[in-house]
Amino acid sequence: MNEKMIAAQINGLEVYCRQGTTVLAMARAAGCFIPTLCDDPRLEAYGGCRLCVVEIKGLEYPQTACTTPVAAGMEIVTESAKLTRIRRNILALLLANHPNDCMRCEATGACTLQDLAYRYNVDGSRFNGDQTRLPRRDDNDFITFEPDKCILCGRCVRICHEVMMDGTIDLIGKGFNTRVDTAWSKPRSKENCEFCGQCVSTCPTGALTDKMSRGLGRPYETTKVRTTCCYCGTGCGLDLKVKDGKVIGVASALDAPSNQGNLCIKGRYGYQFIHSPERIKTPLIKRDGKFEAASWDEALDLVAGKFIEIRKKHGPDALGGVASARCTSEDCYVMLKWVRAGIGTNNIDNCARV
Query: Which residue, 226, 220, 224, 221, is CA-closest to 238?
Result: 226
At 17-62, the pLDDT tens digits run: 999 999 999 999 999 999 999 999 999 999 999 999 999 999 999 9
User: Cα–Cα distance between 241 and 248 in angstroms, integer?
Assistant: 6
Cβ atoms of 130 and 176 within 8 Å: the answer is: yes
User: Which class for 145: exposed (0-12), middle (13-18), buried (19 or more C-beta within 10 A)?
Assistant: buried
pLDDT > 70? residue 2: no
- What pLDDT was estimated at residue 354? 56
pLDDT > 90? residue 3: no
At 130-168, the pLDDT tens digits run: 888 899 999 999 999 999 999 999 999 999 999 999 999
User: Cα–Cα distance between 350 and 341 in angstroms, integer?
Assistant: 17
- What pLDDT was estimated at residue 1? 47
For 58-75, what is the mean pLDDT? Answer: 95
Q: What domains does the chain contain, in order, with CATH numbers?
A: 5-79 (3.10.20.740), 128-275 (3.30.70.20), 284-353 (3.40.50.740)
138 CB neighbour count, 10 Å cutoff:
13
Q: What percent of the chain has pLDDT over 70?
A: 99
**Residue 289 corresponds to which amino acid?**
G
Beta-bridge partner residues of 349: 322
